[in-house]
Structure 1
Amino acid sequence: MIKINLLPHREARRKELKNQFYSLMMFAGLLGTVIVIAIGFVFSTQLSAQAERNAFIKLENEELDKKIKEVANLRQEIDALKARQQAVEDLQGDRNQPVFMMNELVKLAPEGLYLTLIKQDGQRIAIKGYAQSHSVVGLFVNELGSSEWMSKPEIIQNKAVGLGQGRDAKRVIEFDLNVGIRRPRELESAAASAAEAGSAKKNSAKPKSP
């Protein structure tokens, strides 16, 4: 006996497949939504952590800027204190400069030289006078240049003039020059530099061991 199924099984099968497809689509959509939410949460957490790190770095930079400013202010105060200390030391040392200056001029002035003016203005000394010849003036300038207390002598004027009248008239050289005078700390610095240079030269002259 032949059995014939008259029910619409194809339509039922098609409907079942369609329902399965819709179910899969809904599941895929739900899964995609969950994944997007999870990724967004991870990104949000990372952004929040990065924002916190940036805020921390900013605060640390501000603190560092404050400390740098404090250090700069301290350096300025230290430099100002050093400048004041140096000024006091220079004033104390400068009190003895006239004595050193006069002793040095007496020691350096050659025969045939007559000084008419000695005037100090800061660290420069103006000197005027008469000499028997140009060579005497040149010798005096050389002596000033080689002195440890004097520096950079400069001739302002050097000319022949007549002094006296009649039989007492003489032909002399009138000169006008200025020269620098060193401070004691400058002499100490120069002596220390010379000592270091001598030590380096001595060490370089030693024979190298094989």
Structure 2
Amino acid sequence: MIRINLIPYRTARRQHQIIQHLGTFVAVVIAAALLALGAHTYSSLQLADLKEQTLQLQQQNQDLKQKIGKIENLDHLRTDVERKLKIVDRLQEGRFHSLKTLHEISLLIPENVWLDEINDQGKDLVLSGQAESNKAVAVFMRKLDQSALFENIRLDLINRVMIGGLPVRKFSLKVVRRDDAAVAAGQAEGS
């Protein structure tokens, strides 16, 4: 019987299988390394994009904060302007209020009564002057009382004094000025 020695063939075959297995192992390791490198590169790119978006959002946030600051400043300016306009309106109203008051007093004052001083104390007026007689002061007080612009007329002082050798009465009246709504209501009732 012929004997064939298969040992070198088996050894060669094993070496060939070992080389194949090593090649496959190296290929798998290289493929895994390439996949890991690709995944790392992809996540690095995503991280860079996210950092760029974060910087853009932070810049937008800064811009919005500046705009909000400007809006708050505008709100402050608007309230300041409104406050100043109210002051101007109140002053304008007071100017005409004083004008109306003086006009009304000039219409009501009798010929034999002279005013020396009108002291405005807000709602109260103090009228000081001279009159020919007590009766002239009483007539003046009655006219003030009948006016829609005044109320609570009170005689604080009346003295007899000599001026230029003539006897006159020096007087001081306290008058309360009605507000514009009460004056308008009184004028509406009188119409």
Question: TM (normalized to structure 1)?
Answer: 0.47
**2:35 matched residue in structure 1:** 35
Deviation (angstroms), 1:5: 2.9
Distance 2:179 2:25 in 1: 101
Matched AA of 2:50: Q
Residue correspondence of structure 1 range 131-150 to structure 2 within 5 A = none
Q: How do 1:1-210 and structure 2 match up within 5 A?
A: 2=2, 4-5=4-5, 7-97=7-97, 99=100, 120-121=121-122, 125=123, 181=179
Structure label with greater radius of gyration? 2
Residue 35 of structure 2 aligns with an amino acid whose one-letter code is I
Q: Distance in 2 between matches of 1:21 and 1:57?
A: 53
Structure 2 Cα separation of the partners of residues 77 and 26 of structure 1: 75
Amino acid at match of 2:30: L
- Provide the aligned length of Structure 1 versus Structure 2: 119
2: CA distance, partners of 1:93 / 1:6: 126
**TM-score normalized with structure 2 length:** 0.51
After superposition, the C-alpha distances for 1:124-162 in whole angstroms (9 at most, x for unaligned) are x479xxxxxxxxxxxxxxxxxxx9x9xxxxxxxxxxxxx
**Deviation of residue 22 (structure 1)?**
1.0
- 1:4: Cα distance to partner? 1.7
**Per-residue deviation, residues 172-201 of structure 1 (Å, max 9, x unmatched):** xxxxxx998368xxx9xxxxxxxxxxxxxx
* Structure 1 residues 15 and 180, CA gap change in structure 2 (3 angstroms): farther
| Distance (Å, rounded) in 1 between the aligned partners of 2:36 and 2:178 | 85
Report how far residue 75 of structure 1 moved: 2.0
Residue deviations 1:27-83, cap 9 Å, x none?
100010001101111111111011101100110110111011012112211221221
Measured in 1, the distance between the counterparts of 2:51 and 2:177 equals 68
Give the letter aligned to residue 56 of structure 1. Q
1:2–1:59 CA distance, 2 compared to 1 (3 A): same
In 2, Cα distance between equivalents of 1:180 and 1:58: 61
Amino acid at match of 2:76: Q
Q: Give the share of equivalent positions with the same residue, in percent.
A: 22
- Measured at CA, do residues 120 and 30 of structure 1 come closer, stay the same or move farther in structure 2, by a change above 3 Å? same
Listed as ranges, the gaps of 5+ residues in structure 1 are: 104-118, 128-146, 150-177, 188-210
What is the CA–CA distance in structure 2 between the aligned matches of 1:10 and 1:180, rounded to whole Å? Answer: 129
SS of aligned partner of 1:5: coil
Note the aligned Cα RMSD (angstroms): 3.4
- TM-superposed CA distance for 1:7, in Å, is 4.2
